[in-house]
Structure 1
Amino acid sequence: MKKTIRILIADDERYSRDELKHLLEEFPAVQVVGEAESGEAAVMKAIQLQPDVVFLDVEMPKMNGMEAAKSLQELKKVPLIIFATAYPQFAAEAFRYEATDYLLKPYDEEQLEQTIRRVEKLIGSRKENDISKPSGKLAVEEDGEILYLEPKEILYIYRDEKVSRIITREGDHETKTPLKDLESRLLPFSFFRIHKSYLVNLDYVTRLIPWFNGAYQLEIEGREELLSVSRNYVKALRVRLEL
């Protein structure tokens, strides 16, 4: 049985969204799970809905499609990105953001079918390459040694230039392991990305404090420093914290 492909459509024109949604609904394996009118809304809905694929228009208000694609690449679950636009001149730039495809309006149904087939293969390949769930401890290399850390003891992790710093209740550690890899290994636990460089254990969050321009700061149990929450992650974080 094929996996249902969850799709988010981002386009500031209602007619274009409706047209694409209608065309996509012809594919049995596809489910359109949401729509967004801007790049900023697309990122927010991607955090909430965790789609497999995001169809992005290029020219959108507030945050355009290219900026949205850049932000989507920083999410815990990175969706496949397909640009759907009337502007052919952005194609070269689009593939810098690891776009799966670049469709031009008005949509060619045969080309769209080819795109969906490509998506099915990529998602199938992802499923085959999924690693098994990590063990109860997080293994990290530090100064040539392997440390086994209890995830429940980790307060937060942040990326500092070329190292990831792991802040625990008992002390700090550093490793060259990328933050995205650590995040993947901590998926079964209560960790949440609040910023492109920060991963927080939600079990230790004591306060969410309004800051400025829609951003927030987090207070962590037993720590004096406050951690900044990017605007792109605020709404999803509030949902996770049940606020």
Structure 2
Amino acid sequence: MVRVVMIDDEILALNLLENLIKTIHGIEIVGKFTSFDAAIADLNELKPDLLFLDIEMPGENGIRAAERMTTIDENVDIVFVTAYDQYALEAFGVHAVDYLLKPVTKEKLEKSVAKILKRRNISAPNNEQHDRFLKAQFLGNFILYDKHHMPIKWRTKKVKELCAYLLYHHMESVHKEQILEDLWPTHSVEKSKNLLHTTMYQLRKVFKTEGIEDAIQYIDERYKINLEITSDLLNVTNILQLSDYTEEHVNKLLAIYKDDYLVQDDYMWATSHRFSVRKKIISLLEDSAKQASFIASKQIILERLIELEPMEESYRQQLIKHLIEEGKYSDARNAYQAFKQLLWEDLEQAPHEETNKLIQTYL
């Protein structure tokens, strides 16, 4: 288990990074700080293996702080997380393992952690339970990670699709006729059966290469995948199923949900589930935007809703109103002008009078 300490003066950025890190197997967060001095004071007690540091913070520069920390523990690994790219050369001068630009994506973070695990010669425990436990990404495009947190390579696109399909149905067995219809709808029955047989053989080989025997069961003409999987989709689903969620849950959802379910792979069989998940997320974010106790995250929530539904004027109105209430008049004007331009360019329409009245005093 890699022990992690995070340092960033922005609470929201710290929380978003924490939520991303929590989705990665083999990582334990042992401390988070908003100042370098506080982190340095606790460094000996926490004994971290890895530090995630912001660079531009009030007072001391992050690179200078990293130098101080490595004098306390020369074996600690450093990853800088910053909005500025001009410090990269200087950062690697203090032997940083990686340099991540905000906003940090889950994919970049996982690659960074995989690099550190490899440096430290850390691998997954060799036991049957853990061998069958893999991690998958379904949001955006499908990626299946091996025990070392590295993406599995596929012999063909269809092998990859079949794996994604079986994992989508992983709690149930699927009749082979249904698979043929969903994955090879335009082929003849004989041709599609041959393709299924070949593709399934290649998929079984992938799992055997990973040391996983009998990953796919075949009983009564039905296939079922026999793996324990954790995934970004599962994390999202768990939040959506909560009857009572907190602002922290919403921030975690925002950190994870960067794209729609398998939208980049564009599998036809995934379309219905993609729209279903998207609809539930929009509903949760709409409800969250109305929560008075979620004021710290309201702007980010509304901006995400606008990304999902750019033509929904009510979201624009709520954002403009919130920015005005927060005294961010320039941001409110910019939000209004951006929407006005979008409406004219795409539809040759103007904002509703209600929207115009919201911003009229500040134009």
Greater helix share, 1 or 2? 2
TM-score by length of 2: 0.33
TM-score by length of 1: 0.48
Greater strand share, 1 or 2? 1
